[in-house]
Structure 1
Amino acid sequence: MNKQLKCTLQWILGIAAAAAAVVILLITAFEAAMYLDFSYYQKEYEKYNVLEDLDMEMEDVMYVTEEMMAYLRGEREELRVITTVDGVRQDFFNEQDRFHMEEVQGLFLGGMRLRESAAVVLVVCVLCLILMKADLLRILSKSWQIILGVLLAAVAVLGIAVARDFNAVFTLFHEIFFDNDLWIFDPATDYMIRMLPEGLFFDFVIRIGWMFLLGAGILLLLSLAAKRRWKKEEQKRRNTEN
């Protein structure tokens, strides 16, 4: 393998590793935002007066939430939760809820599998770089900074779109990922949409966003530190040669 081809391949591996890290970080931020602290749901329910809309006790709403989120992780076979709603002991979810949430579960579990695949890609790329005796610190740090620059531009565009018209972005997301209109609910007949108002989704998007950017920022600092270390080692090597 000639030197130019080897250098190009190393940079391709570095960019692929950085891209895989982004996928891992994004899905982890999503999972952390949704599962790390269930008290956040309670605060959101209080913020949007969900208890009043459902005529339920907070304990019951939280029970429904925990069971629903367990279902999305594949920890429940079926989405049936008996609780007291509007003063009646009944199943909180109807058939439309179950159909839509089954599709959401498919997306969620698909995301988990995608993260696992990205982790494999990351490890393989790093191992290949090591075997090729590449300048690991320089390639990985620079690759992350390149990917992060592209990513921040995309996040900025998405952030502007969300700030201007969250409903349009929310609708577009569903039109892309679902091939039916069963994600459109009627608050008069569907308890789930009363429990999960649009404002709650907006708040979770913001929560996922800052968690993701926090992780990206930490990796940026690490990449800058790695770049600084590489420069010191390179300068030391040159001094030794001279």
Structure 2
Amino acid sequence: MKNIQKILILILGISLSLSLFLLIFESYAFNEHYFAENFLDLNVAEQIGVSEEDLLNVTHELVTHIDTGEGNLYVSAEVHGRRVIFFNHKERVHLNDIFILAESGRQFLFYIQVVTIVSILGLFFTSGGRMKPFLSVLGTTLITSLLFLGSLVVLYFVDFTKAFHQFHELFFSNDYWLLDPSKDRLIQMMPLQFFINFTSQWLRNTALAHLAILILYVIGKKHIKKPSAEA
């Protein structure tokens, strides 16, 4: 029974850690307001030569598409005084690839959450409802997340550009993600600095979420009484 509990604690720690990383990522990746704020900070409208109104309209269609697949990728905008279809063929293919990747990510998250629920039930019944094993889950979550965060922070500070390219090579089977900043408006909207800002905020908020878990863990360690003999 003890070995089963240890396995369940490990599974729960890993699944909770992955869930936190992915849920916080999603909170930014499909947040139209977040995109619009970053585009304003990066002065995207002036760089591309569009009005802020047109840029907001394009942003809405872009985020809607990568989120639900229903955004209009043939949205038009007035660029340098001429109304054109904003995204070219290469950009539309890549945005559709992002949507497919997002759907796969959500399916992966769903499976993780199923595993989490089953593991929680299993740990509850094998531990007789005691709280100490669940406290161990928080500890395992913190250790797992520290490894994830540490790896991502190293990639962020050592060579973000290389890590960014390797990510695309790993998750996309074509080269449509290789956009030309001189003519492809998608990369003009989202230059490397956009992704640097995105990653920084994602990691920062993920760290804060785990700080809350650490506080719960410390409080739990102080308040859960240790029986004289464990089963």
Tell me if 1:138 matches 2:121: no
For normalisation by structure 1, the TM-score amounts to 0.86
Once the two structures are superposed, residues 15-39 of structure 1 have per-residue CA deviations (whole angstroms, 9 ceiling, x without a partner) of 111211112111111111234561x
Distance 1:17 1:146 in 2: 8
Contact 1:83 1:89 in 2 (8 A): yes
- Counterpart position of 1:55: 49
Q: 1:164-183 to 2 correspondence within 5 Å?
A: 164-183=158-177
Distance 1:59 1:136 in 2: 56
Distance 1:114 1:224 in 2: 31
- Counterpart position of 1:25: 20
AA aligned opposite 2:19: I
Distance 1:137 1:60 in 2: 54
Distance 1:125 1:154 in 2: 21
AA aligned opposite 2:35: Y
**CA 1:191–1:37 in 2, change beyond 3 Å: closer, same or farther?**
closer
Segments of structure 1 that go 5 or more residues without pairing to the other structure are 1-5
Equivalent pairs counted in the alignment come to 229
Q: 1:86-105 to 2 correspondence within 5 Å?
A: 86-105=80-99
The Cα shift of 1:77 comes to: 6.1
The Cα shift of 1:61 comes to: 1.0
- Counterpart position of 1:114: 108
Once the two structures are superposed, residues 116-140 of structure 1 have per-residue CA deviations (whole angstroms, 9 ceiling, x without a partner) of 2111111111111122234642222
Larger radius of gyration: 1
Tell me if 1:70 matches 2:64: yes
3-state SS of paired residue (1:192): helix
Match of 1:155 among 149, 154, 161: 149
Contact 1:141 1:224 in 2 (8 A): no
Once the two structures are superposed, residues 176-230 of structure 1 have per-residue CA deviations (whole angstroms, 9 ceiling, x without a partner) of 1112221111122211111111101100001111121122221222233233332
Write out the 4+ residue segments of structure 1 that deviate beyond 6 Å after TM superposition.
none
Once the two structures are superposed, residues 27-70 of structure 1 have per-residue CA deviations (whole angstroms, 9 ceiling, x without a partner) of 111111234561x4334223323122211111211211121111
RMSD: 2.1
Q: More displaced, 211-220 or 42-51?
A: 42-51
AA aligned opposite 2:111: S
Distance 2:4 2:216 in 1: 23
Tell me if 1:200 matches 2:194: yes
Distance 2:220 2:131 in 1: 6
**CA 1:78–1:35 in 2, change beyond 3 Å: closer, same or farther?**
closer
AA aligned opposite 2:183: T
The Cα shift of 1:75 comes to: 4.8
Contact 2:62 2:73 in 1 (8 A): yes
- Counterpart position of 1:3: none
